[in-house]
Structure 1
Amino acid sequence: MTGLPYPRLDAVVAAQRGVFTTAQALDVGMHPREIQRGLADGHWVRLRRGVFAPSRFVTEADAAGRHVLQARAAHLTLRSPIAFSHTSAAMVHGLPAYDLDLSEVHVTHPDGASSGRHEGGVWHHVGALTTERVRTVDGLPVSDLARTSLDVARVASPASALVIADAACARGVTQEQVRRDLEACMDWPGARRASRVLPLADGRAESPGESLARWALHQLDLAPDELQLEIRTDEGVVRVDFAWIRWRLVGEFDGKIKYGRLVKPGETASDVAWRERRRELAIERASWGVVRFGWADVHDLPRLGRLVVGGRGRAERRWVR
């Protein structure tokens, strides 16, 4: 695991989920020159001063995984009681990382027991965080899901924040919790930004793409009336991503990940496309219009607006005939 013949160090790395310190390496009998050689040979990667990880842990991880390794490294060196918060807590909780700045670790000191500062790649935040709002996730102390959503929404872009908040709601955070947290922090930095996003959070969003589409539609004043609406068709009950009930129009977000989930054993991508086409025709026979949009569309507001308004027009013309 470590790349060097020290089984006791392997046990430390396993227990700490991929990280170890200089002191721990010396404690198992390693000489300082061996530590330097392990770095020079590429067996290890230095995460921060005095903390390392086997290189494969870093190279095989995605951006979120590498950030969690950085958080684990910080946890071994920060002395005062802390809880990981903001984007760091989001990554430890396993929430989706869409367009988040993961270059630095974020911690909050419980009960505001420290001053705000930035040092050694770690942001130390000021803000009341009682022990009741701290959870232990994979061995790390982190702010709970509701507080994490709030803190991310105070520092991240609205689109990124809604992705996080939707995912947190899907895992049990309620709108009442969101409302209480917003009220409690209205004089905190970034609270006004958070208040634009968090009331829109909805656990029915099934992917980051759907969350992004909903934020884009909100900006266009084209917010759907319902999410995950079930429609009875002659092919059975189908569930659609978005529905504008007043227009008899449904919207479907088409993403590669979504279609990957739809592929059944023995099927090809063309099989899925044909099945989706049959589903769309069934929805139209049930007197609903259908508009589809994907990643490129939700990043181009005028284009998305034209798609939805055009879909509305087609649906209305169908009713006139």
Structure 2
Amino acid sequence: MDEAPACRPNWNRLFETAAAQEGLFTTKQAAEAGYSPQLLVHYVHAGKAIRMRRGIYRLVHFPAGEHEELVAAWLWSELEGVVSHQTALSLHGLSDVLPIHVHLTLPTAWRRRRFRVPADVVLHHADVPPEDRAWFGAVPMTNPRRSLNDCAREGLSPELLRQAAQQALRRGLVTKNELGDVETALKPFGGIAA
């Protein structure tokens, strides 16, 4: 039986993939474009690519983006994760929350998987349906309603949670009826309107 010919490196395909992801790509995506791990190492040594973390690279044609860490976390999750919780609140411009880590929700099936979590990522597990998602550039994130309720269930400080909920209501991003978990969390503190 003849072996299939090796895929030749396709720069255009790799560039297009990276361009849609703030210049980042994974080892797997590079392989799909015909780049072996050895060729990637050569590109790093030649100054054409930068290794961001294990299995994730950036083409030097793309300067580091303001939200590069979000794309890197999403790529690390094999495109399965959804940016969520405090990180999503911040991206939606809700409250003064300034997360120091990327909050990422992985599918519940990933609970049983063993892997090394990047130091700058906080994991949550839940199945996030399409109607609970929004997009921030190339990266999926939870919509305002889901983000607020997730933060309420995870115990975000009442001051920040109230501020975020009030801003979302004022901007018409959610209705009060959609914030059941937020209302429950804030009830001991006077509710959303306090």
- 1:152 is matched with 151
1:9 is displaced (CA, Å) by 1.3
- 1:165 is matched with 165
For 1:1-321, list aligned pairs within 5 A.
6-40=11-45, 43-55=48-60, 57=62, 59-61=64-66, 65-76=67-78, 78=80, 82-90=81-89, 93-95=91-93, 98-109=96-107, 112-113=108-109, 115=111, 119-121=116-118, 122-126=121-125, 131=129, 133-137=131-135, 138=137, 140-153=139-152, 154-162=154-162, 164-169=164-169, 170-178=171-179, 180-182=180-182, 191=185, 196=189, 199-200=192-193
1:39 is displaced (CA, Å) by 3.5
Cα distance in 1 between the residues matched to 2:12 and 2:96: 38
- Structure 2 counterpart of 1:176, one-letter code: N
Give the structure with the higher percent helix: 1
Cα distance in 2 between the residues matched to 1:108 and 1:132: 14
Indicate conservation of the 8 Å contact 2:21/2:71, yes or no.
no
**Which structure would you say has the larger RCO, counting Cα contacts within 8 Å and 6 or more residues apart?**
2
Indicate conservation of the 8 Å contact 1:68/1:88, yes or no.
no
SS of 1:52's partner is strand
Which structure would you say has the larger Rg? Answer: 1
Computed over aligned residues only, the root mean square deviation of the Cα atoms, in angstroms, reads 3.9
- Structure 2 counterpart of 1:173, one-letter code: V
Indicate conservation of the 8 Å contact 1:149/1:164, yes or no.
yes
Task: Give me the TM-score of the superposition, normalised by structure 1.
Answer: 0.43
- Structure 2 counterpart of 1:199, one-letter code: I
SS of 1:87's partner is helix
Indicate conservation of the 8 Å contact 2:84/2:104, yes or no.
yes
Cα distance in 2 between the residues matched to 1:17 and 1:72: 12
Identity %, equivalent residues: 23
Cα distance in 2 between the residues matched to 1:141 and 1:162: 24
1:72 is displaced (CA, Å) by 2.9
1:101 is displaced (CA, Å) by 2.3
Gaps spanning 5+ residues in structure 1: where?
A: 201-217, 219-321
Indicate conservation of the 8 Å contact 2:162/2:192, yes or no.
no
Cα distance in 1 between the residues matched to 2:28 and 2:110: 27
Cα distance in 1 between the residues matched to 2:130 and 2:14: 34
Gaps spanning 5+ residues in structure 2: where?
A: 1-9
1:173 is displaced (CA, Å) by 0.9
SS of 2:58's partner is strand
